[in-house]
Amino acid sequence: MKFLKLFIPIILLVFVFDLLINLMLPNSIKKKIGTSRNYSLKSVEFHHLIAPNINVNEFWGERKYKVKTNELSMRIGKDKNLEVDRSKDYVGFIGDSFVFGSGINYDDHFISNLSNNFSNSLNLGYVSYSPSIYFKRLKHILENERLKFKTIFLFIDHSDIQDEGLFYREDLNGNIVRKWLSDSDVKAKNRKYKVKNYLKQNSFIFKLYENITAPTMSENSEKCLSKFKNIDYKKYIDSERFGYSLNKNLKNQDWIKKGLIKTTNYLDKIKRLSEKYNFKLIIVYYPSAIEVIDNIELKNSSHYNFLAEWSLANKIQLINTNYDFIRKKNINDYLNNFIHCDVHWNKKGHKIISNNINKFIND
């Protein structure tokens, strides 16, 4: 009891001192401390959002890369201004972690590799976003932030179907929430996350705790990297999340049907936004890592067929990057263009995306 009486006040004093120091630090210094996971925040409207105006490191295993964001929580290059010029007409890129650029420095990101036609580009993507959040985020930026776009490139990932089918729904206020939580549960969690969001950004102790306890890569990626030869890379990739388009055993799963219906619904809504706000909408298709490893023919990818049919029916142009990702028709197509033991593109994979977009514009 004597120990506890001494220990608890010391812990409280340390915690208070920690917060006081952070209150005195200017944001320009404070938001350079920690990693980007300390600034991945709960959002009432979009479920989650990266904090604005950060300039920190992130890790994928031992790989270190820089994450910098502007005033609207969009990832930007190291030399870009934090402020957004609302007088400009922008080109926007929206998607999930592939567009955000997980695992890669922004100098190697496809947006950085684009031609001068894209000098006014904005990255609207973030980790685990999906069509419902693409729509909500874009609508918010257009209506609340008053940004103008001449073109939006929309990347619909294979994993988006699972996100829409299993994980996300809209609550009564139109906010994106976890599907299994009731609206009252969401309200309670939002109150709790106000405190957590503050601590994640403003407590050295909390930042240290998160970076010690949170893994820098998935368990499967870690197991995969521990192998030295004859690696079956597909074994370590979530086959449901990234392989629904070719896995015949999943074809009749209820979540796939619901995910495709919801994705279609939000694609329609984004198209209506493009008509209302007068920007050109372009769909970008890219094969999943599993499709590349298995050398799947394009006609056998139900994800491609889904996007191609919607694009054709709605007179929306589609950029098909498939043939640049699947060229040699062996495992080297994966090893050359993806982060090993992961589903995301490496530097060469990002170059494929930028080359296809540049060619599309030039043509």
CATH number where 261 lies: 3.40.50.1110
Please indicate, yes or no, if residue 321 is contained in any of the structural domains.
yes
CA distance 274 to 279: 5
Position 265 scores a pLDDT of 98
201 close to 30: Cβ distance less than 8 angstroms: yes
Phi then psi dihedrals of residue 346, to 5 deg = -90, -165
Q: Is position 40 within any domain?
A: no
Q: How many domains does the chain have?
A: 1
**Domain hosting residue 296, numbered range:** 55-182+217-362
Q: Is residue 28 part of a domain?
A: no
pLDDT category at 4 given cuts 50, 70, 90 is low
Does residue 257 form part of some domain? yes
Q: Is residue 100 part of a domain?
A: yes
- Residues 55 and 70: their CA atoms lie apart, in Å, by 9
pLDDT tens per residue across span 123-140: 999 999 999 999 999 999
Burial class (CB in 10 A: 0-12, 13-18, 19+), 76: buried
Residue 207 located in a structural domain? no
Please give the structure tokens belonging to residue 225.
């990297």
In a domain, 44, yes or no: no
91 inside domain: yes
Indicate if the pLDDT at residue 90 is higher than 90.
yes
List, for residues 140-192, the tens digit of each pLDDT value. Answer: 999 999 999 999 999 999 999 999 999 999 999 999 999 999 999 999 999 99
How many Å apart are CA 167 and CA 181, to the nearest integer?
Answer: 10
Residue 25 has pLDDT above 90, yes or no: no
Q: What is the mean pLDDT of residues 9-31?
A: 83
How much of the chain exceeds pLDDT 70, in percent?
98
pLDDT digits (tens, 9 = 90+) for 38-82: 999 999 999 999 999 999 999 998 889 999 999 999 999 988 888
Amino acid, res. 320: N
Give the model confidence (pLDDT) of 226-274 as tens digits: 998 889 999 999 999 999 998 888 888 999 999 999 999 999 999 999 9
* Statement: residue 10 has pLDDT above 80: no
Query: H helices of the chain, where?
Result: 2-24, 27-30, 97-100, 131-143, 159-162, 183-202, 204-213, 219-225, 239-243, 254-276, 289-293, 302-313, 322-325, 332-337, 347-362
pTM: 0.94
